[in-house]
Amino acid sequence: MRQGQILKITNSDPIGHNMNLTPWKGKSFNPLLPRATVASKATFDVPSLLAQPRPFPVKCNIHSWESAYVSVFDHPYFAVTDENGSFEIRHVPAGEVKLVFWQEKLGFIAGRNGREVEVKSDCVSALGDIETTLPN
């Protein structure tokens, strides 16, 4: 998400959850998200989050298997891969840029500073396959 956007957490379950957000910069949030009713979902708006140096965890302290990560950027050049691992970032200015990859189990792929990529104007810059190895 972009810095300045509001993160909306929604619960459609018949049981309550706890959303423990621990950003690296800014305040932590630990709201109880009540159970949904038959008529509506329970929602909670997280106050504006600052841009972060890396994704931060979101966990439910009630149900330990429920977790996620949130990335907050101060620019519009980011993407989440689809089910095949493909992604597209539109309108990147032409020139040499650093492309940074992060994966939950691997962390930063190609390091925190990323990989140099040349973006040409008015065309698609295909990267090909990016090979990774999961830890044991």
One-letter identity of residue 74: D
Give me the CATH code for the 7-70 domain, please: 2.60.40
How far apart CA 75 and CA 13 sit, in angstroms, is: 34
**Residue 108 burial (CB < 10 Å; 0-12/13-18/19+)?**
middle
| 20 and 60 Cβ atoms separated by less than 8 Å | yes
The ranges of the chain annotated as CATH 2.60.40 are 7-70
pLDDT at 128: 77
| 91 and 72 Cβ atoms separated by less than 8 Å | no
pLDDT at 69: 94
pLDDT at 37: 78
| Structure confidence by residue, pLDDT tens digits, 54-109 | 999 999 999 999 999 999 999 999 999 999 888 899 899 999 999 899 988 888 88
Distance, C-alpha 109 to centroid of its chain: 15
Mean pLDDT for all residues in the chain: 87
Does 48 have pLDDT greater than 90? no
Percent of the chain exceeding pLDDT 90 equals 32
How far apart CA 19 and CA 29 sit, in angstroms, is: 8
102: tokens are 């992060």
pLDDT at 73: 95
| pLDDT mean over 25-40 | 83
| pLDDT mean over 116-120 | 88
Does 44 have pLDDT greater than 80? no
